[in-house]
Chains A and B, each alone.
Chain A
Amino acid sequence: MEFLSLLDVTFFLLTALGALVGIIFGAIPGMTATMAVAVCLPLTYALGLNHGLALLLGLYVGGISGGMVPAVLLNIPGTPSSITTTFDGYPMARKGEGEKALKVCVIASVVGGLISAAVLFFFAPILADFSIKFSYIEKFLIILLALSVIASLSSNMLVGIFSGVIGIWLSLIGDYSISDGGNGKTRLMFDFMEPYLFEGFSLLPVLIGIFGISTVLLEAEKGVKSDLNDERVKIGKGGGFSFGIFHGRFTNMIRSSFIGTFVGMLPGVGGSAASVLAYTQEKNLARDSSEMGKGAPQGLIASESANNALTGGALIPLLSLGIPGDSTTAVLIGAFTLQGIQVGPLFIPENVDTWYIMMTALIFANFVMFFLMFFAIKHIAKVVMVPKHILYPIIVMMCVVGAYAINYGIMFDVWTLLIFGVLGYLVQKVGLEVAPLIIGFILGSQAEVYFVKSLESYGTFSIFFTKSPIAVVLWLLILASVVFSILMSLKNRAKQRQADIS
């Protein structure tokens, strides 16, 4: 327990400050937890390792959590992993239940964060050994499973699949990067586009454009008249929230937290897959999922507990293998290298004090995030009451700043924001679906890399089915997901027909 002597007031203050700044970063569209950690990384020089880690872990937890705010209130996922939060959060905010939605999100987040921290603390080395059983093939199948849910997320299955395919196609624009073991050659573009699109469209500008800018355009089309007024917006005195909402939802919350932790610990699979998988598992397994996508708290619980559970999950391979589980932990590893500390399979046994320090910071950051957000929500939720002619220009400005900053000042990212903003608007006008399109975009390029690498490594298609028992289980899940989607679609169609007749 020597590490206790290393904990001081500064340590806790820095963790709390990190969580606060992280929440702000996460809440601004285009600013992410990764960016917050990257910006503050050089500070670890001055702060030393323990204090530096306190700040960075606070930023990490805060940054991941902050993404829920614009997702719920503005329909803009603050971070890629909060896409599924928009599905139910925004409809709730439109019904005047923004505060209630955010409170559900905060509680789900803290539960997800703490469960994953516990898993990290007790099982990190064992899980790291399990995670290396996931080769290119199993990772491809997980992505395929996440992609297979596109159909069940859509109101019209065929349109959803078509939108998803467009998303995948868009994700393949650019080079097949040599850093992924590719040939570094570009495809799906003309020569004159190369200077701009060599690395393809950047994820965040696409995400903010397609959700944020298109929402602003759709709202602008309706005119400036607000459809929310003080009477309809339930703010203050709980905002319609009660802990009763969680009654019967614990399985969902625990399951989603484990899904988040599990996906987080697989390097290269990414956070968005976690919340998408958790969301669709809830949709497939819940007794009644008919309200999901229209403003159901159970969707928020699944999405937010999974995306916060990523934090502990992504730290598992970082601290047990020296391999970052996601983009934020990839930056976090810099804190160790800047201090000359190696992270690898022997990190935990050789740096026990640092390990306990990190766990303390992670747990404390989750509590700080909870208290900061739970009690600030009634003020934050008032954003929806700002007149739209003031709110929307500010959102557009923040989106532009975020898009420009995300890759350290690339103007084309701002154009990407605009292009996808207009595309998102048009896509909705012609009846295509945005959610499958963006999920296809996020997962498409990873699916390609793992698919190609699997074939390069094993040289045969049959290996996808025969590689390991894990692969077989994943195929069964994919099959179940597809069958479920078809059944749901048929059921919906029958219901529609019945409604038409009556």
Chain B
Amino acid sequence: MTINKILLTFGSAAMALSMTTASSVVLAQDGPLRGNVRVVIGSTSTGGDTYQNSNIVVEKLAEHLDLNMKVDAVGASAAFRALDRDSRGNTLMIFHDQSYLGHLYGVQGYEDIFEKYTIGPTVAINPGNAYLVPKDSQYQNLDEIIEAVGNGETVRVAIQPGGVSEIGFSALKNAIAIEHPGKEDNLVAVNTGSQSDKNQQLFDGQADVINGTVQANEQYTRLPEDDQKAMRFIWLTARESTIEQAPEEGLGQTSREQLLEYTEPNVTVTMGDDENFTFDKEFFFLYNKDMDQAIVEQIDTALAEIYEEGEIQEVQKNSFFIPNFLPSDEAREHLEDKRSRYEEIIQNIQ
């Protein structure tokens, strides 16, 4: 009897609460996007850049559209599956270049996003993709590494295979193939997982170079040289013009000016035809192919207005992101172009 009473009280309270919430949500919306919106991301980490950037964008978007939106860090394959299931627009996805690079590298679970999904707007760039060596490494810069590999030395690079972490390695290998044909196999990939695994490979002397990020590795570059953990940057893959948009104070104790020392034209990785390789890690929306086009336009318009207000740019820059809003159509064209350039590199070294 008592239990029944408790259940009844809680039940009716919960129902009343959900009805109140539901009605206020419905009242608040008149655009094509309605109800609760779940934004899945291609990473399972809530400490990473995808979650951080998605949170910034989704929070602004939810406020602007007066919708209940939430970011869920479910990981790539679960996010694609969730997006496949929902054509109403209540599930959206935010991911980065990994979404098409995974397909180019033939990773299971990645399909051609340009075929299978609608490409949404780009929102920001993380300019932090970096390559590092131990502070006491014999290699002072990337040119010395390219030369060493060209002279037959084996150089081991710790990466996470199949995407963003590998693309710089592939470009480097391609550059060696161009400058020192036949020697590119001396550049060896050490396949690892997380950033901590890559760092560990460097500490153990099992890698000569690691892929990392400005955000995760900057403090390591400030350790004294006799510290086993000390590292130094040798290459940032971002475009010079991207880093130039970062705040002047840079990140941590490393200023923008110092970061620019590691980008083109100071550090160059050729793609042939007088073109240098650069890679900006860009975040963008992905939609279910059958989702109402009006929702695509609604989000484009809302984001255009948000970026016009200018506040989001400040928040993004404070978190070391470079604002980069492109509406869906332009974003698609831009990303397709980017994809075809990287496809060429990957094909060249296969």
Nearest chain-B residue to A42 (Cβ)?
B55
0 or 1 for each of B190-229: is its CB under 8 Å from A? (1 = yes):
1111111101110110100000000111111011000111
Q: Is the CB of A178 within 8 A of B160?
A: yes
List residues of B (61-90) whose CB comes within 8 Å of A's CBs.
72-75, 77-78, 81
Smallest beta-carbon distance B179→chain A, Å: 28
Chain B contact residues, CB within 8 Å of chain A: 3, 44-49, 51-52, 55, 59, 72-75, 77-78, 81, 107-109, 160-163, 190-197, 199-201, 203-204, 206, 215-220, 222-223, 227-229, 251-252, 318-320
Instruction: Please classify how large the interface on chain A is, using the bins under 10, 10 to 19, 20 to 34, 35 or more.
Output: 35 or more
10 closest A-B pairs by beta carbon, nearest first, are A344-B219, A333-B47, A334-B46, A323-B196, A181-B191, A346-B219, A181-B192, A180-B193, A181-B193, A334-B47
With A180-B193, A453-B192 already in contact, 13 other A-B pairs whose C-beta atoms are closer than 8 Å: A38-B46, A45-B59, A178-B162, A179-B193, A179-B194, A198-B109, A330-B45, A334-B47, A337-B47, A338-B55, A344-B216, A408-B78, A449-B193
Given contacts A195-B81, A457-B206, contact A340 B74 (CB under 8 A): no
Other-chain contact of B161, A42, A178, A340, A407 (Cβ < 8 Å)? A178
Minimum distance in angstroms from A392 CB to a CB of chain B: 14
Question: What is the CA–CA distance of A135 and B320 in the complex, to the nearest angstrom?
Answer: 31
Q: Tell me whether B108 and A185 are in contact (CB under 8 A).
A: yes
A132 within 8 A of B: yes
A residues near B45, Cβ cutoff 8 Å:
330, 334
B223 touches A345 (CB 8 A): yes
Inter-chain contact A135/B77, CB cutoff 8 Å? no
Q: How far is the CA of A178 from the CA of B206 in the complex (A)?
A: 19
Contact yes or no, B318 A322, CB < 8 A: no
The minimal Cβ–Cβ distance linking A383 to chain B, given in whole angstroms, is: 13
User: What residues of A have a CB within 8 angstroms of the CB of B223 in the complex?
Assistant: 345-346
26 contacts across the A-B interface (CB closer than 8 A)? A41-B46, A45-B59, A135-B206, A136-B200, A175-B109, A178-B162, A178-B193, A179-B44, A179-B160, A181-B160, A184-B109, A198-B109, A199-B78, A321-B199, A323-B199, A330-B46, A334-B51, A337-B52, A340-B319, A342-B219, A342-B251, A344-B216, A344-B218, A345-B219, A407-B74, A407-B78
A401–B223 Cα distance when bound, in Å, is 47
The CA-CA distance from A442 to B89 in the complex, in Å, is 37
User: Which residues of A (339-361) have their CB < 8 Å from a CB of B?
Assistant: 340, 342, 344-347
- Decide: B219 and A129 in contact? CB cutoff 8 A: no
Q: When the two chains form their complex, are residues B77 and A199 in contact, meaning their CB atoms are under 8 A apart?
A: yes
Please give, as numbers and ranges, the residues of chain A lying within 8 Å of B74 by CB-CB distance.
407-408
Q: Tell me how far the C-beta of A326 lies from the nearest C-beta in chain B, rounded to whole angstroms.
A: 12
A191–B203 CA distance with the chains assembled, in angstroms: 40
A240 at interface, CB cutoff 8 A: no
Q: B220 to A345, Cβ gap below 8 A?
A: yes
A41 to B49, CA, bound (A): 15
Chain B residues contacting A42 (CB-CB under 8 Å) are 55
Q: Which residues of A contact B251 (CB under 8 A)?
A: 342
Query: Given known contacts A345-B229, A390-B3, is B200 in contact with A135 (CB within 8 Å)?
Result: yes
> Is A445 interfacial (CB-CB < 8 Å)?
no
Q: What chain A residues lie within 8 Å of B206 (beta carbons)?
A: 135, 457-458
Q: Are B192 and A175 in contact (CB under 8 A)?
A: no
- Is A118 positioned at the interface, with any CB of B under 8 Å from its CB? no
Contacts of B51 on A, CB cut-off 8 Å?
Answer: 334, 337
